[in-house]
Amino acid sequence: MALVAVSNKRVILKRYLTACEIGQLGDEMEVVTAEAVPLSVPAGSSAVLVKNLYISCDPYLRNRMIRHEVPTYISDFVPGEVVTSHGVMKVISSGHLDFKAGDLVWGMTGWEEYTLINNPESLFKINYPEFPLSNYTGVLAYWLSCMIG
């Protein structure tokens, strides 16, 4: 069986921001198309490959675009790497026993079409897909996780 691979658009941070660049944004991020990614997890891996459906764009992300000399509560983004935040995803391929192809999940993911998640223990299954999937991002994500798990 031939291995299927697809191109993968992603958003990367081009450069760190300075604290005084509020309202002057525009060239700090870039959409790039990465080389083809296989639509399966590596053999023997417990990783999960997901297709991102919704990505959360939250105010705290601005702070992650600044290089901090002293570590903060969450790591800074790194120029040249994919921007990350919470998102809703559909499992495409899984080497993890708790997830199977077709499952809807939410958790931290990349701003890209497909993400290989090497630590899927940080993902949460969406057990109530009748709620709008976009509710699992942003401020509602925390409350939904507390109320319905």
Segments making up each domain of the chain, as ranges:
5-148
Burial annotation 31-67 (CB, 10 A radius, 16+ → b, else e): eeeeeebeebbeeeebbbbbebbbbbeeeebeebbee
Q: Could you give the C-alpha distances from 99 to 59, 92, 123, in angstroms and in order?
A: 30, 10, 9
Query: Residue 135's pLDDT band (boundaries 50, 70, 90)?
Result: confident
Tell me the helices (H) and strands (E) count for the chain, helix number first.
Answer: 2, 7
pLDDT digits (tens, 9 = 90+) for 51-77: 999 999 888 888 899 898 998 888 999
Is residue 147's pLDDT more than 70? Answer: no
pTM metric for this prediction: 0.86
Confidence (pLDDT) at 138 = 75
User: Which CATH superfamily groups domain 5-148?
Assistant: Medium-chain alcohol dehydrogenases, catalytic domain (3.90.180.10)
Confidence (pLDDT) at 149 = 52
pLDDT digits (tens, 9 = 90+) for 85-102: 999 999 999 999 999 999
